[in-house]
């Protein structure tokens, strides 16, 4: 009812929806376990509200009609919205990586390699351990490319760079590992 009032107040059509954390109730226990792992806790220590309720499932059209039987316009708006999205086919179990912007003439693979090798020169150039570090980095870059994760690493770098600019505190302390890995200092 609160969302209905907000939608009406701002002149936005109401859309029938529900929070979906898993496909069906059988997946609720897996959700609890993963939540506990994410919180570095146990299932028995989870507090109310830390997990989605067991009915936070992907609902069928008939289930949505039952839940929103007094809001037929919201159901119709949901159908219209789905139709406007076009024919999207999502394959379960297949990762879809967002597109990452890279400089002209680069692919995500070549841009990640360029950044990595520049960091290698900056952090290992001329040092005794440089040869071994080069071998390790080459193997890591090949593995990242083989698994299809160059975009992922570039996105994480973009987020980290944004956070460094946005939340920079000026806090600096001599630390070798974070410096070499360009890991931001603790806030």
Query: How confident is the model over 34-52, as pLDDT tens digits?
Result: 888 888 889 999 998 899 9
pLDDT of residue 118: 93
What stretches in the chain show pLDDT beneath 70? 166-187
CB 112 within 8 A of CB 150: yes
Helix, strand or coil for residue 32? helix
Three-point CA angle 20, 64, 89, nearest 5°: 60
CB 79 within 8 A of CB 120: no
pLDDT of residue 172: 47
Residue 180 is encoded by which pair of tokens? 């070499």
CA distance 117 to 131: 13
pLDDT of residue 183: 52
Query: How confident is the model over 80-93, as pLDDT tens digits?
Result: 998 988 888 888 88
pLDDT of residue 99: 84
Task: Tell me which long-range contacts 101-110 makes (C-beta under 8 A, separation of at least 24).
Answer: 102/154, 107/150, 108/150, 108/151, 108/154, 109/145, 109/150
CA distance 110 to 126: 24
CB 20 within 8 A of CB 60: no
Is 108 exposed, middle or buried, given 0-12, 13-18 or 19+ CB atoms closer than 10 A?
Answer: buried
pLDDT of residue 168: 60
């Amino acid at each position: 009812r609160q969302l209905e009032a907000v939608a009406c107040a701002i002149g936005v059509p109401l859309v029938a929806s529900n929070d979906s954390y898993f496909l069906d109730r059988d997946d609720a226990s897996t959700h609890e376990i993963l939540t506990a792992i994410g919180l570095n806790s146990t299932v028995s220590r989870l507090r109310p509200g830390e997990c989605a309720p067991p009915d936070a499932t992907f609902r069928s059209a008939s289930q949505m009609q039952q839940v929103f039987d007094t809001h037929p316009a919201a159901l119709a708006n949901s159908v219209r919205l789905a139709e406007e999205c076009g024919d999207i086919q999502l394959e379960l179990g297949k990762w879809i990586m967002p597109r990452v912007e890279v400089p002209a003439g680069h692919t995500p693979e070549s841009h990640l390699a360029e950044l990595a090798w520049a960091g290698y020169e900056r952090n290992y150039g001329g040092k005794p351990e440089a040869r071994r570090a080069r071998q390790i980095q080459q193997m890591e870059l090949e593995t990242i490319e083989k698994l299809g994760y160059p975009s992922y690493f570039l996105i994480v770098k973009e987020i980290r760079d944004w956070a460094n600019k946005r939340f920079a505190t000026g806090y600096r302390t001599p630390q070798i590992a974070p410096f070499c890995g360009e890991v931001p200092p603790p806030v």
